Amino acid sequence: MDEILRLSHISKTFPGVRALQDISFDLKRGEVHCLCGENGAGKSTLIKILSGVLQPDKGEIRIEGERVEITSPKVAMRLGVETIYQDASMVPTMSIARNLFIGREPLRLRIGGIGLIDHDRMRREAIKAIADVDLHLRSPDASLAELSGGQRQGVAIARAMHFKSRILILDEPTNHLSVKETAKVLGFVRGLPAQGVTGVLISHNLHHVLQSCDRVVAMARGEIVFDKRVAETSVEEISDVL
């Protein structure tokens, strides 16, 4: 499989803290990669760089072989990189449809960049988007607050699929979920390659990693300390390097 993303010699320092030191690895198209490590290992900093929240001090990022500068979250999304954080980055008081399109609402009667939100189109496309990830919800007009944690993660994944993300980063998506909901979310993750999406799963649960990922990259003290295909490793081996 060819590379969809390559990081080369990425470093990031904050006052008094070396967060990342010479990070280099690639993502293979159509796989699910795990990024794991203890708190403070540098995972969050790396993800913020990929999602445009932070910029590296050194190094380069290539997507589809082309060097890119991810200067903001909007630029990341335009490049096809979508990040789902633990809180799913959604508004509980809004409807499912509104959350699917938040920040990217379709407009009608557009004059320049201003227009009326096309609510009918949002509802129609929301129904299809949630069905495409095998998520069964009663109405796109239902409030997000009515959904379980696993269903909210499903809506966030449906949003990424609808907007044709090429790389989907999921930051601890199973935190605080029940066993049943965790299984559902891991099912969503395993299904990403079939949707043409390369996944990056950040998780502390190594059993979940072995269930749903193709490759695992472990970080410690701002460096990569382990990089193997899941089929060639075990929970014990990964634990030993963390």
Number of domains in the chain: 1
Give the mean model confidence (pLDDT) for residues 37-49: 91
> Which band of pLDDT confidence, cut at 50, 70 and 90, is reported for residue 28?
very high
> Which band of pLDDT confidence, cut at 50, 70 and 90, is reported for residue 178?
confident
* CATH code of residue 86: 3.40.50.300
- Scan for tokens 């380069």, then name that residue: 60
> Which band of pLDDT confidence, cut at 50, 70 and 90, is reported for residue 88?
low
Q: Is the pLDDT of residue 113 over 90?
A: no
What residue type is 16 in one-letter code? G
Q: Is the pLDDT of residue 89 over 80?
A: no
**Residue that wins the pLDDT comparison between 161 and 48:** 48
Q: Is the pLDDT of residue 42 over 70?
A: yes
pLDDT over 90, % of the chain:
43
Helix axes 119-132, 149-162, angle to 10 degrees: 110
> Which band of pLDDT confidence, cut at 50, 70 and 90, is reported for residue 11?
very high
Q: Is the pLDDT of residue 179 over 70?
A: yes
Residue numbers of the domain that contains 235: 3-241
pLDDT over 70, % of the chain:
97
